[in-house]
Amino acid sequence: MKSAVEILSALAEPTRLAAMRLLWDGREHCVCELMRELGASQSRMSRHMSVLRNAGLVVDRRDAQWVRYRIAPDLSAETFALLEAALALSGKPQRVAA
């Protein structure tokens, strides 16, 4: 498990937090969708998602030329609680899907 500092550092950047907000619905999202929703270039979005992946918060899957992301299915209870708290503090409602 990553430390709380590593997780919170990954979530401290507004674009990454916004990406986690989009992924919080429990579904898989294409990086192209994240780019469109967040107004980020492909390279910028990929860098942000790499930070989230390295923090253990998301997993990815290649689909042709795009990469699809979702919340990591094996988050510890502590990591899940940190993520939920960060999203709640940023105004995100409770998770609607697992």
Say yes or no to pLDDT of 96 above 50: no
Total-model pTM: 0.88
Class of the 4-89 domain? mainly alpha
- 25-67, pLDDT tens digit by residue? 999 999 999 999 999 999 999 999 999 999 999 999 998 888 9
3-class DSSP string for the chain: CCCHHHHHHHHCCHHHHHHHHHHCCCCCEEHHHHHHHHCCCHHHHHHHHHHHHHCCCEEEEEECCEEEEEECCCCCHHHHHHHHHHHHHCCCCCCCCC
